[in-house]
Structure 1
Amino acid sequence: MGRGSGAGHMLIGELSRRTGVSTRLLRYYEAQGLLNAERGTNGYRCYDEDTVVTVRQVRALLDAGLTTEVIRAVLPCARGEQPEFEMCVDVRTVLNRVLADTDERIGDLQRSRSALVGYLEAKS
Structure 2
Amino acid sequence: MRIGEVAAKAGVSVRALRYYEEQGLLMPSRTPAGQRSYPESAVDRVRLIQHFYAAGLTSRAILELLPCIDSGAAAPEMLDRLAEERDRIDRQVQELLATRDRLDGVIAAAERPGPDCRYD
* TMscore range, shorter length: 0.5 to 0.7
CA RMSD of aligned residues (A): 2.3
In structure 1, what is the equivalent of residue 15 of structure 2?
24
User: How high is the sequence identity, in percent, across the aligned residues?
Assistant: 38
| Cα drift, residue 54 of structure 1 | 0.7
Out of 40, 44, 49, the position equivalent to 1:49 is 40
Quote the Cα distance in structure 1 between the aligned partners of 2:52 and 2:63. Answer: 10
1:93 maps to 2:93? no
**Higher relative CO (CA 8 A, sep ≥ 6), structure 1 or 2?**
1
- In terms of fraction of residues, the more strand-rich structure is 1
Quote the Cα distance in structure 1 between the aligned partners of 2:86 and 2:28. Answer: 31
Q: Which amino acid aligns with 1:88?
A: A
SS of residue matched to 1:30:
helix
Which protein is bigger by CA-based radius of gyration?
Answer: 2
- Do the aligned residues in 2 keep the contact of 1:77 with 1:88 (CA within 8 Å)? yes
- Superposed counterparts of 1:1-124, under 5 Å: 10-78=1-69, 86=72, 88-89=74-75, 90-98=77-85
Q: TM-score, normalised by structure 1?
A: 0.62
Aligned residues: 89
**Residues 63-108 of structure 1: per-residue CA shift (max 9 Å, x gap):** 11000100001112227xxxxx9452243222344467787xxxxx
- In terms of fraction of residues, the more helix-rich structure is 2
How has the CA–CA distance of structure 1 residues 23 and 40 changed in structure 2, closer, same or farther, with 3 Å as cutoff? Answer: same
User: Unmatched 5+ residue regions in structure 1?
Assistant: 1-9, 80-84, 104-124
- Do the aligned residues in 2 keep the contact of 1:37 with 1:47 (CA within 8 Å)? yes
Q: TM-score, normalised by structure 2?
A: 0.64
Quote the Cα distance in structure 2 between the aligned partners of 1:36 and 1:101. Answer: 28
Quote the Cα distance in structure 2 between the aligned partners of 1:69 and 1:12. Answer: 23
User: Unmatched 5+ residue regions in structure 2?
Assistant: 92-120
Quote the Cα distance in structure 2 between the aligned partners of 1:48 and 1:87. Answer: 23
Q: Which amino acid aligns with 1:94?
A: R
